[in-house]
Amino acid sequence: MDPDDIELMAYVDGTLPAHQHRAVRRAASASPEIARRVAALEASRLPYAAAFAQQTVPPVPASLRATIDELLRTARLNASPTRKHPPLV
């Protein structure tokens, strides 16, 4: 097995299904190169969730909310199956 970086990151994050987790663990045990890559990914992990959990997020300004709502309405109209021509950009 030669796992790619996405698979190794999922292994480090603990999000692989059990059978894939075991396969990556075996591969890392058998290959110093894979073990090195896993170690590098583990070292690069930062506690983002904990860091941002403490932050207070300001409310979204009403003007921004209105702009986003209008963009969504326009996008939905342009995606309507009754529309015969693509939207002009």
Residue range(s) defining the domain that contains residue 32: 1-80
For residue 25, the tally of other CB atoms under 10 A from its CB is 15
pLDDT for position 6? 94
pLDDT for position 86? 60
Counted domains in the chain = 1
pLDDT digit string (tens) for 55-80?
A: 888 999 999 999 999 999 999 988 86
Would you say residue 10 lies in a domain? yes
Would you say residue 54 lies in a domain? yes
Average pLDDT taken over every residue of the chain = 89
pLDDT digit string (tens) for 15-25?
A: 999 999 999 99
Would you say residue 85 lies in a domain? no
First CA to last CA distance, the chain: 47
- List the CATH number of the domain containing 19: 1.10.10
Distance CA 8, CA 24 (A): 7
For residue 22, the tally of other CB atoms under 10 A from its CB is 11
Distance CA 53, CA 47 (A): 10
Would you say residue 88 lies in a domain? no
- Read off the amino acid at residue 28: A
Cβ(35)–Cβ(28) below 8 Å: yes
Would you say residue 89 lies in a domain? no
Cβ(8)–Cβ(41) below 8 Å: yes
